[in-house]
Amino acid sequence: MGTILKLPIIDLSSPEKLSTSSLIRQACLDHGFFYLTNHGVSEELMEGVLMESKKLFSLPLDEKMVMARRGFRGYSPLYEEKPHSSTLAKGDSKEMFTFGSSEGVLAQIYPNEWPREELLPLWRPTMECYYKTVMDVGKKLLGLVALALNLEENFFEQVGGFNAQAAVVRLLRYPGELNSSGEVTCGASAHSDYGMITLLATDGVPGLQVCRDKDKEPKVWEDVAGVKGAFVVNIGDLMERWTNGLFRSTMHRVVSVGKERYSVAVFVDPDPNCVVECLESCCSETSPPRFPPVRTKDYFHERFSQTLASYSGSG
Ligand SMILES: O=C(O)CCC(=O)C(=O)O
Ligand SMILES: [Fe+2]
């Protein structure tokens, strides 16, 4: 492991909205990563989600394959995802389970897969509770991000950037296998997240690393330590586009440390129909828009079809 990166800590419960939003602005300019504390999701719920996640991944493979991913949601077995940067011939050493809101139009287009109630009775209520609770965090946080960009607090909601039914939760299990040749084994190869913001909870096992300068060779990877009870938050590519590159969607990966690891990533993403266009407040004569407007669903379609084997784009 390399050096540990000291990330800024943002206290979501602070009543000083303006000073919190300026801390967020600085964190997004410098790192694109920060810790979020006092967010209102209880440790009990976070631990409950990790526990239920462990139970799901412990099911026999054929039981998990009944829920195999169609489109965006469901179970993805080991090695299914293979980002461009992957050096592994067989894909990332991780298995995942993705679900979204059970309510609204999107839940009809992309139906959730659930494990059988007889097998895991607490699974669905725990996950649905987590989804709803984290959406409140996402909404509050995006309000502060909007303030950090000198926009109205409800800007992202108004433009469809925040839709409490468009987020997805991804449960991850990294088996932690090590390569006998001494090479780095990636549970998640170097990538940036596609969407707006990601809220990550982990079981405390290390492995997450960021590369602050993706153009520098050789790449410098710094470790992100887990902080108990805190979310690790990072900016995604669509937010980077929105801010004309001002806020950074930082490259990151998960390396194997020889120990099994569980994490839960919540991708707070725009509504599929939301058009993401460089904000005027982030452009000027000397800094013209660097990205053309893009519809979220078209952007995701392109990105997913590059990384997921058998991606069809529909439910
Ligand atoms: O598991 C982690 O710590 C990070 C996962 C991640 O980066 C992702 O799923 O996009
Ligand atoms: Fe990621």
Residue, of 143 and 315, whose pLDDT is higher: 143
d(CA 102, CA 151) in angstroms, rounded, equals: 31
Average of per-residue pLDDT across 211-239: 94
Report the CATH number that the domain containing residue 168 is assigned in CATH: 2.60.120.330
d(CA 133, CA 164) in angstroms, rounded, equals: 10
Residue 271 falls inside a structural domain: yes
- Closest ligand 1 atom to residue 263 Cα is 1
How much is the mean pLDDT over the chain? 92
Domain encompassing residue 293: 9-306
Q: How many residues comprise the chain?
A: 315
Answer for the pair 226, 206: CB distance below 8 angstroms, yes or no: yes
Among 254, 260, 267, which residue has the most ligand 1 atoms within 8 Å of its CB, making it the best to mutate?
A: 254
Tell me what pLDDT residue 72 has.
82
Residue 313 falls inside a structural domain: no
Domain count, the chain: 1
Residues with Cβ within 8 Å of 295's Cβ and at least 6 positions away in sequence, in order, are 272, 273, 274, 275, 276
| Residue 262 token pair | 């569980």
d(CA 223, CA 146) in angstroms, rounded, equals: 28
pLDDT in tens, 259-293: 999 999 999 999 999 999 999 999 999 999 999 99
Residue 227 falls inside a structural domain: yes
pLDDT in tens, 44-80: 999 999 999 999 999 999 999 999 998 789 999 998 7
Residue 3 falls inside a structural domain: no
Tell me what pLDDT residue 85 has.
58
Ligand 1 centroid to Cα of residue 142, in Å, is 20
- The verdict on the CB of residue 170 being under 6 Å from ligand 1 is yes
With a cut of 0.90, is the ipTM above it? yes
One DSSP character per residue, 43-75 reads: HHHHHHHHHHHHHHHTS-HHHHHTTB-BTTBEE
Residue 311 falls inside a structural domain: no
Residue 78 falls inside a structural domain: yes
Tell me what pLDDT residue 315 has.
36
Residue 312 falls inside a structural domain: no
Residue 135 falls inside a structural domain: yes
pLDDT in tens, 78-137: 987 766 655 556 788 899 999 999 998 888 888 999 999 999 999 999 999 999 999 999
- The predicted model scores a pTM of 0.95
- The verdict on the CB of residue 254 being under 6 Å from ligand 1 is yes
Ligand 1 centroid to Cα of residue 253, in Å, is 7
User: Which residue, by CA, sits nearest to atom 9 of ligand 1?
Assistant: 265
Ligand 2 centroid to Cα of residue 295, in Å, is 21
Ligand 1 centroid to Cα of residue 170, in Å, is 9
